[in-house]
Each structure stands twice: as structure tokens, then as C-alpha cells.
Amino acid sequence: MKWEQAWLDYKPLASYQSRDYFTKLTVRARGKCIDTAVTELTKACKEILNIEIEAVDEYASEGILLTVQETDELGEEGYKIAEKLGLITVSGSGEVGVLYGVFELIKQVKLGNALKDIKISTKPDNPIRILNHWDNMDGSIERGYSGDSFFFEDDTIIVNDRTVDYARLVASIGINAVVINNVNVRHAAKYLVDQRYYEGLGAIGDIFAGYGIDLYISLNFAAPISVGGLSTADPLDEKVSEWWKNQLARLHDAVPNLKGFLVKADSEGEPGPFTYNRDHADGANMLARAVKSFGGKIIWRCFVYNCQQDWRDLKTDRARAGYDNFLPLDGKFDDNVTLQIKNGPMDFQVREPVSPLIGAMPKTNQILEVQIAQEYTGQQKHICYLIPMFKEILGFRTYCHESQDTVADVISGRTYNQRQVGIAAVVNTGNDANWTGHDFAAANLYGFGRLAWNMSLTSEAIANEWSRMTFNGSDIVTENVTDILMKSWPAYEKYTSPLGIGWMVNPSHHFGPNVDGYEYDRWGTYHRATFETIGVDRTPNGTGYTTQYNEPNAGMYEELTSCPEELLLFFHKVPYIHQLSTGKTVIQHIYDTHFEGVEEVASMIESWDEVEEHIDSVVHDRVKQRMQFQMAHAKEWRDVVNTYFYRKTGIVDAQKRLIHS
């Protein structure tokens, strides 16, 4: 199968004012990543500038100089690029910094920017910038919408040119760690810790190492039983901890770039320490101690809740679960354990409040988990640019600390001066030719990497840059593509689930409208819509979830008057005739936004049509087809949701548009 190169697709530049720098390359450093940096720069020079650049190691007075200079200012991974008197120096604080600097330099060339007087100095905001692949070893991908896995097939590990191209792509946006297998570790994946997979993991690990990417795998907590043949997986049983220690030490010996392990325990049927009346700290620390000798890290997911709830129960609240389960454990986790916390308290809905657990455990490392696989946001058949959502989350003030209290502060380590922290994304790639199914979905991958590095970038700037890197860089293309991206999340929110309520999707596959789809189910996902009211009371009168927030957030959410309206129904049960700040009632807001959302999709299609002549026809058609599907599906959403509420309330649309009865 052929595949494309996404934003690393190099096309010749007809003319380029700064091409003369690329006649001479001096390399003053050694290492795997330095070699990669040279290879990448050589390739880019050849393909973009048609220059066969050759690396020399001599006194450099002009051209390009790659060098390592350790400085505190740049941390471990930062770099500087500076031009002076004909010499562009790319200096990394470590060898991977040089590689990142080279990718930045290539970007400048690809975008045709002048390099005279260039001066960039940057280091990543987040120590850990990790992708989570939910790839199964049979080749399927849980919540995958871009084809099958390129890591696994028929219970074997795939290593080929695509593995390299994957590493290039994600390293070019600053990703420094990748979990290659699904957090639900089933079947053959349990044996990734076994010697049968040493060779395959070793080969992937080597490729990753050249791009500064730490290899992670997901573990099955019950592996001592299924793989080890023990009778228990009790984390406090010495045989168990010994087994893990030996198993993982041998594994690390065979695969030296294997740096960490992701664990989903005691959730949705996965095994965990609860089976043995142990807590999450017991489980995580046992593993942490098993891998400490080689500097291994344990990332422990906080997606833990009772998935056998009863819709008749108005007190049990899935939203409370993460905080209730983990808060009491603050201070109990070892240093090399990090908790990975989903951005919201539910599960990647189009709109959720920020998880109150983030920032609430000062003595515990935390990673923010977002999902760029569009499980609930259109499954890469709809355009839904998620960077604006992530920006809102990162900017949220938790009030967990007297200063530096935003989510961005917490996960970057600024708040509590932590190092094993950062940001994770459940990733949206597969073996489709364009990697992400929908071409526009690549903007989420690109954007995640860029944002993980620099959380102060704006959504527009990232969209703009992705567009210029991906398409013909003419102004109209960049403008229209940016416009489409920036419209897409608000539009998706409008034509799907209103005012923060969520979950109005078909069960299991989570695609398409079904207002009652999860209403009477066991997953804790209810809208409670009656003939007169809708929403979930999460104030102290209801489930009490609001009390998990620090003040003034708790009070803000608790009071109907101060609760942000986009989250109104997440926190409150209100009459349909409740009046919003716009002067509209809730029901009229539902009707209006659903009509508007569809209109916005129409305008996105117009923008795309307008740039047809500037876009490769294969790509234009491919996107156009998905946009047409999105349009039809947005109408289905609009009609099902509006009809559902009209049928339930009998309240007519003030604008008398067609709502099917």
C-alpha cells in the first residue's frame, strides 16, 4: 500500500531567496538523532531545493552548522536557530534538540521564508508529549477511523518504511513518546512483554530512538496470570512483583528504547488491583518499582468508573468517579508514576467541563489526556478541528494554587515543579494513504504536536501553519482552510449535542444521532429529558459533582446565573423555557443551533469549492466527498434532535422552520 507524507510532503520550490545557505553543512555533534537530522536536512534540500548537500566536520564560517550546546535555558530538548554573517547555526541543548531545530529549519524553507537574521529559541512546554495508539495486534484499531494499524497485523509487529515515515511525521511536530498498543490489552497484546516480540519491539524502538521518540507499550495488569502462569496478579504478592521485575528487565535489555508503560486498570472490564482489595497506588507503585532500575516510567490512566450504573439512580454520577477514586491517593504514588487524566470527567464529548482532578493532587505527576481520534466528534467523516477545544482546556484556571494554576501550568510542571508530566493524545492515524482518513483530520495531529510543544500558540496560527505546510500556500487556500477549520468545532457542537449535555449518539460505535441512545443504559450517561425539563443536576442538590471544584469554580458552576451556558445542561436540570443570556429559551436555542450548524457546514463546503483550482484534484475530491457526507449527516443530526425535542415538548419553533413531527 502506498502512503503520502502529509505535512512533510516536499515539493520543489521554483525560486528561493535563502537557497545559498544550503550549499554547505557542518556537523559538530554525534548521535543517532544527529544522524537523523543530517538525513532529514539532506532529503529536504534535495527535494525542495534540488541541492545535494553534504555534511562536513570543519570550521564553519557559512552555510548551516548543527551543534549541541547544553544550556539550562533550553532544557533537555530545546534548540536555537540563528543566522549571522551567512552562517545559520542550529544548536540543540541535546541531540534531539538539533533534530527538532532541523525540522523547524526545513519548515521555514518549505514555507519559503527568508532566513536572513532568523532567530528562534524554543523549548517544549511539556516534558512528556505522548501519542496513545489504540491499535490491537490483529490489526484493528479501537476507535480507529483511518484504516487498520500500521504497527500490527495478524498478531505480528510490522516494521517497514512506513514505521520510519511515521516517526518522521510525529518527531517533526515534537512528539517524544508513543504508546503503540491499545490500553485495552487483550489477546496477543498481553504477550508484548514476552520474548516472542523482542525482535519486533526492538526494531520499532531503534527507529523511534533515531527520532527522539521513547517507545511505550500498554500492559495488562493480569499478565502475571495469563502470561506468567502465576495464580494471582496481586500487586502486594512478592511472586507477582518479582515476575514483573524480571519480565520487564529482560524486556528492557532486549529493547533499550522501551521507556515506559501505560496501564488502564479496573475500568470497563480491564483487570486491576481492586480484584485483590488493593488500591491504584499499590498497583502503580509495584510496577514503578519493577522498572525503576532502568529509569522506566509508569503512566496510570484515571479513566475508572462504575460501568454498571442504573439510570434510575439520581445520585451516582460517573462524572465524580475520577476525583473520588484518585484524590485520596495523593502523595502515595512513586516518583516514576504519572496519572493520565482525560480532559473532562466523562469521555471526550464535544463539550465537557475540565476534570476537577487536574491540579488537585499536588504531590502526584499528572498528564492531560485528549483525544484526536474523533470518536464522538465525527469520526473523521466530519471536520472537527479540536485545537480550539484544547486551548480552552489548557487555559482553564483550576484555582489549585495561588499562581500558575491553569491546566497548562499543571501539566507542564510549572505549578508543582514536576518533571514527569505532560500531555497525551489518543491518536487518529491508521494505514489509510493520507494517515488520518479525512485529510483535514491531520490538522488535529499536527496541531496537537505543535500545541504540546508550545501551549501559547493560537488555534488560528496552528491552522494557518498546517494549511501552508499541507496545501499550496496561496493566500486564498490558507485563508479558506483556516476558516473551515475554525468554524468546524462550533458547527459540530451546534448540530449535535446542545449545551453540554452530551451522549446523544448511537451506543457502541458512537456515530450518528440517537438522543435516547445512552439514556437508559448502564454507563452513567443521562440527559434526563422530560416533557418539561432537561439536564443533570450536578449541584449539591443533585449529585454534588460541582463541589469537586475549587472556589470560585464550584460556586460558578453551582449557580444557574453564573454557570457558563455552553455547560448549562451538564450542571443543571432546567425547564425548556428557561431563558438564556441571548434572550432565547433553551428549546429555541436547541432548534436555532441545529439549523445554524447545518448552514455552517454549507459555508465550509463553499469555502472548499472556492479553492478547488489550487488543490490537487485527488485530495480535493477526497475531502469533498467527506464534506458532502458531513452535510447529509449534519441534516440527519439536526432533524433527529429537533424532532425528538419537538415531539417531547410540543413547543413549536418560533421561526416556523420545518421540524418533522
* Contact residues: a copy of itself, CB under 8 A: 311-312, 506-507, 513-516, 520, 529-532, 639-640, 643-644, 646-650, 660-661
Helix or strand holding residue 63 (H, E): strand 63-68
Q: Which of 347, 369, 409, 600 is catalytic?
A: 347
For residues 397 and 543, give the distance between their C-alpha atoms in angstroms, rounded to a whole number: 23
Smallest gap from residue 514 Cβ to a copy of itself (A): 7
Smallest gap from residue 512 Cβ to a copy of itself (A): 9
Quick check: 297 and 313 in contact, CB under 8 A? Answer: no
Residue number with CB closer to a copy of itself (425 or 504): 504
Residue number with CB closer to a copy of itself (32 or 635): 635
**What DSSP letter does each residue of 554-603 carry, written as one string?**
HHHHHSTTTS-GGGHHHH--EETTPBPTTS-BHHHHHHHHHHHHHHHHHH
Q: Which of 268, 335, 532, 609 is catalytic?
A: 268
Which one, of 567, 559, 517, 566, lies nearest residue 539 by Cα? 559
Peptide bond into 12 cis (omega under 30): no
Grid cell digits, residue 508: 457502541
Smallest gap from residue 385 Cβ to a copy of itself (A): 28
Residue number with CB closer to a copy of itself (2 or 660): 660
Q: Could you tell me the CA-to-CA distances from 514 to 15, 384, 519, 638, 643 in Å, in that order?
A: 54, 19, 9, 11, 11
Residue number with CB closer to a copy of itself (47 or 537): 537
Smallest gap from residue 210 Cβ to a copy of itself (A): 44
Residue number with CB closer to a copy of itself (469 or 651): 651
Quick check: 160 and 200 in contact, CB under 8 A? Answer: no
Classify residue 511 by its DSSP letter.
-
Grid cell digits, residue 641: 434532535
Per-residue H/E/C for 67-109? EECCCHHHCCCCEEEEEECCEEEEEECCHHHHHHHHHHHHHHH
**What DSSP letter does each residue of 178-234 carry, written as one string?**
EE-S-SS--GGGGGGGSGGGHHHHHHHHHHHHHTT-EEEEEE-TTHHHHTT--S---
Smallest gap from residue 528 Cβ to a copy of itself (A): 8
C-alpha 26, offset from chain centre: 36
Which one, of 594, 539, 541, lies nearest residue 570 by Cα? 539
Residue number with CB closer to a copy of itself (529 or 563): 529
Task: Tell me whether residue 347 is one of the annotated catalytic residues.
Answer: yes
Grid cell digits, residue 123: 523549548
Task: Tell me whether residue 268 is one of the annotated catalytic residues.
Answer: yes
For residues 374 and 348, give the distance between their C-alpha atoms in angstroms, rounded to a whole number: 9
Q: Are strands 79-84 and 87-92 parallel, antiparallel or unpaired?
A: antiparallel
C-alpha 288, offset from chain centre: 24
Smallest gap from residue 533 Cβ to a copy of itself (A): 9
Smallest gap from residue 134 Cβ to a copy of itself (A): 22
For residues 181 and 175, give the distance between their C-alpha atoms in angstroms, rounded to a whole number: 17
Residue number with CB closer to a copy of itself (3 or 629): 629
Amino acid identity at 571: F
Q: Which of 83, 148, 375, 432 is catalytic?
A: 375
Smallest gap from residue 577 Cβ to a copy of itself (A): 14
Residue number with CB closer to a copy of itself (232 or 306): 306
Smallest gap from residue 308 Cβ to a copy of itself (A): 13
Quick check: 354 and 344 in contact, CB under 8 A? Answer: yes
10 Å Cβ neighbour count for 159? 18
Smallest gap from residue 650 Cβ to a copy of itself (A): 4
Residue number with CB closer to a copy of itself (1 or 658): 658
Quick check: 208 and 251 in contact, CB under 8 A? Answer: no
Task: Tell me whether residue 559 is one of the annotated catalytic residues.
Answer: no
Residue number with CB closer to a copy of itself (389 or 569): 569
* Residues acting as catalytic residues: 268, 347, 375
